[in-house]
Structure 1
Amino acid sequence: MRVPRIMWAGIAIVALMWAGLIALLVAQRMQGSTGPTDSQLADIRAGTIGPNGEGTRIDPPAPLKNFTLPSSNGGELSLHDLRGKYVLLFFGYTHCPDLCPTTLAQFRQIKQQLGSKAKDVSFVFVSVDPDRDTPAVLRRYVRSFDPSFIGLSGDHKVLDAIKSDYGLYYQLNKDEGANYTVNHSSSIYLIDPDGRLIMVYSYGTNTEVITRDLERMLS
C-alpha cells in the first residue's frame, strides 16, 4: 500500500518539531541551565508537550543571545530592541504553503483576543530564506496578517549563531528549482521582557492556551 504524500509530509513536520525541541533542551543543559526536567524531556521524546498540550515551560528562563537582522519596517532590528515587551517568535519563510500562514493567522487571533494588552507584545516572523525574503517582501507578507507584525530577513551566519538557543532546524531544498521548499522547525517561542526564553509551543497548540498564558503574564 502506498502512503499518501501528505501523510509523509505530516510525519516529516512532526519529526522536525521534536528534533528541534530536543536540540534546544540539550543545548540549554550544556550551557549550564537546569532547564526542563528529565520528565519533560521524556514527554518531548514521546511526542507530548506538557500534560495538557499547554506548551513546555523553560524553568529557569533561558537567556538568549542577541541578534540583529534587516527588518520589514526598514533598517535593522535587534532582539534587545524588543526588551520591555513579551515576544512571540516564529521561524519560517514567505513561500511556505501551510505552517507559516497558519501560525501568522494564529498570531493575529492572539492579538485580537488580547485586546488592549496586545500593545505589550511583539509578534515576530524570522525568515530562514533570505534570498527570496527581502525586507520588502517580508513587509508585504507580514502586513497582510497585521500591520504591526515584524518580519526579519534571516542571514544564514546569524541563524547559525542563534539556532542552538531555539533548537532551530531548517534546510533549503534548492535542488527543486526556483520554487523550492524549505524544511524547518515549527515551534512558537515566547520570550519575556528581559529577553529570556520562557515557553515553547508546538505547532497546532490551541490559540486560547497561548492567549491565556500571555494574559496571566501581562496581568
Structure 2
Amino acid sequence: MRILFSVLIVVLIASLGVVFYQWQQTQNSAEAYGVPFELVDGKGEKITQEAFQGHPSALFFGFTNCPEICPTTLYEMNGWLEALGEDGEEIEAFFITVDPERDTPELLNDYVSSVTDRVTAITGDPDKVRAMASGYGIYYKRQELEDGDYTMDHTASVFLLDSNGDFRSTIAWGENSETAIEKLRNLAGS
C-alpha cells in the first residue's frame, strides 16, 4: 500500500510539473494575445492586430445600440485615461463592435467620438469581426426582442494588453474606478 501511495504521489507531482511547464511556455511565448485580423477603424481605414502593439492597449467589445453597459464603459474609459494624465498618455484604447451589421464605420466613429477622442472605433465584415472576437475569447450573441428588433449579449470587461500585445489583466464591468485606474497605471508602467 505504501508503494502504491508513493507511486501516486510521484505521478501527481510529475503531472503538475508538466502542466506548470506548459503554462510557463504559453506565458513566455513570443505570440501576442488574440489572433491576426484585418478590419476597419471609424474612418474606414484598414486596421490590424499590429494596432495593439508598441504601446499598452485597452480593448472593449460593445455596440452602439447598447442601452447601458457600452455607453457607461466608454464614458468610464475616458475618465480613467483622463485621471491618469501624463501617466496614461501612451495607452491606446479601442472600442470593437459586436454588432457590425448595424455599426458602420461612420456610425461607430460618431458614437465613440461623441464621448472621447482617446478611443479608436473598430468594425468590419461580420464574419471577420466574429473571428477576431472569438480569437480574443469574447462572447457575444444576438438576442431577438419581441418588437422585432434585437440586442446583443456580450462580454463586458475591458481587456488590457501590454506593449507586446500580451494579455495583462481585465477591468470588470462595474469595477471600482480607483482599482481600474491603478490597473491602467500598472499597464502604462509595464
Alignment identity in percent?
31
Q: Which amino acid aligns with 1:124?
A: F
Per the alignment, residue 74 of structure 2 pairs with 104
Any residues of structure 2 matched to 1:1-219 within 5 Å, and which? 34=23, 63-174=33-144, 176=146, 179-219=149-189
3-state SS of 1:137 partner: helix
Q: Is the 8 A contact 1:172 1:183 kept in 2?
A: yes
Mapped to 2, the partners of 1:187 and 1:170 lie a distance apart of 12
Residue 178 of structure 1: how far off its partner (Å): 6.0
Mapped to 2, the partners of 1:120 and 1:66 lie a distance apart of 22
Mapped to 2, the partners of 1:216 and 1:137 lie a distance apart of 33
Residue 190 of structure 1: how far off its partner (Å): 0.3
Gaps of 5+ in 1: 1-31, 36-57
Residue 154 of structure 1: how far off its partner (Å): 4.5
Mapped to 2, the partners of 1:157 and 1:131 lie a distance apart of 10
- What's the RMSD between the two structures over aligned residues? 2.6
Gaps of 5+ in 2: 1-20
- The size of the alignment, in residue pairs, is 167
TM score, norm. by length of structure 2 = 0.77
Q: Is the 8 A contact 1:73 1:150 kept in 2?
A: no
Residue 106 of structure 1: how far off its partner (Å): 0.8
Q: Which amino acid aligns with 1:156?
A: P
Residue 122 of structure 1: how far off its partner (Å): 0.9
TM score, norm. by length of structure 1 = 0.67
Residue 164 of structure 1: how far off its partner (Å): 4.2
